[in-house]
Amino acid sequence: MSIQSINPATEEVIETFELFNDTQVQHALDEARTAFLSWRNTSFAERSAALHRVAAYLREHKARLAHIATVEMGKPIVEAEAEVEKCAFNCDFYADNAEKFLADESVKANATESYVAFRPLGVVLALMPWNFPYWQVFRFAAPALMAGNTAVLKHASNVSRAALEIERVFHDCGLPHGAFRTVLVPGAETRPLIEDSRIAAITLTGSEEAGIAVASASGHVLKKNVLELGGSDAFIVLEDADLDAAAQTAVRARFQNTGQSCIAAKRFIIVASVLEEFVQKFVEAAAQLRIGDPLNRATQIGPMARGDLRESLEQQLQASVKLGAKVVLGGKRVAGKGFFFEPTIVTGVTTDMSLFREETFGPVAAVISARDTEHAVELANDSIFGLGGNLWTRNIERGRALARRLESGGVFINGMTASDPRLPFGGVKRSGYGRELASFGIREFVNIQTVWIGPTVSPTTTAPSE
């Protein structure tokens, strides 16, 4: 059996890959487990040196790696290069900070000495999506490897070349053979991988449906998992907001990566008193976006990654229009080859429409009118998702107070939601559980081990004076 990479800008087959047979899969798992047994015994200094080499490699080969992402999933080349740079930054960040994040923590108890240590779990299985083919992987891999784990990647099939290149990066930078392995297998073979005794834990970035399947399979064999799932982030604009800044940011927040991002702003909840003015500014700014060949450095909107994804987006849009939503910008396919869809803004969206209720994964922005601040918060929380969100107000203390009431893993006040290695990333509700990045992310795939050293010391005993 084989899988194909198809250029979404031209609909041409780029490359065909033979799927791994069972012998190849078993060999990869064996190598990852064997590598773990040695890698866990390396020092933080050795791991840090390796991750710094990875960061340097990514920067040196940025153009080639970015080109692969662009032709496989359609990301504009400038954004693809920025993605590779971000991966390098993440590697450097964990190379510099992992030892501090995982340092033993002394605890006063009834022991002569007691402390908490953070030990690696083993081989982590990563199930990753196509929309950020490098970042999603390095976001988990850098902290997991610095903690002493090894990894097996099952990437989305349409970015198989990127998946193999990631394995090559770690190999060429001198990590132990097998420390990072890629397996090319269909989705149907995910469960056997999860259940394999050589896999210690699982991390998934994907859809709500994929999260349910992975959580079920992981639970069946009692394995730790972290799920970063879909989102329908609210972008709240209050009456005292800087509308020019909000509108400019709204364009990037919705249409970056051609709208194919779990943390993209999707539901634009605008207080009624500034709705008309905001929409005018939003439409004017979005209308300037340049659609075209994603390899052209001037292009800001490339094709969607697959034809079926474009069809799903069209269905969500058409269903909402039938219920009374109004398209004020775009709204249709771009003629010719490629899975292109115009940047689209829709007003009059209500809570019974699919553009409000479902995650929209593409360049369509849904604008919802809120009566006032209280109604805006109510609308924002009226979702099964809770990944991130934006809040625009000139009153920062008011923003802090409202952030406490927003049901999401992140709240960005007067700025665009983005993942950052220095900050924890993840969601609540059906956006998943667990956290990536920062100190929280590196501690997801460790054994939090209590070490107690006797003899017992009476609570009233004090150390003798000198």
Active site residues: 228, 262
CB 295 within 8 A of CB 67: yes
Question: What are the helix (H) ranges across 74-184?
Answer: 77-101, 135-146, 160-172
Could you tell me the two tokens for 81? 């290069």
Could you tell me the two tokens for 331? 């709204």
Burial 27-37 (b: 16+ CB within 10 A, else e): ebbebbbbbbe
Residue 425: strand, helix, or coil = strand
CA distance 385 to 428: 7
Which residues neighbour 432 within 8 Å (Cβ) at sequence distance 6 or greater? 211, 226, 227, 228, 229, 387, 426
Could you tell me the two tokens for 141? 């891999």
Which residues neighbour 171 within 8 Å (Cβ) at sequence distance 6 or greater? 177, 180
CB 160 within 8 A of CB 83: no
CA neighbor of 422 nearest in space, from 170, 203, 139: 139
In three state form, how does the secondary structure of 329-361 look? ECCCECCCCCCCECCEEEECCCCCCHHHHCCCC
Question: Given strand 446-453, what is the order of strands in its sheet?
Answer: 105-106, 113-120, 446-453
* Maximum pairwise Cα distance, the chain: 86
CA neighbor of 286 nearest in space, from 316, 328, 320: 328
CA distance 294 to 76: 4
Which residues neighbour 168 within 8 Å (Cβ) at sequence distance 6 or greater? none
CA neighbor of 150 nearest in space, from 27, 20, 38, 233: 38
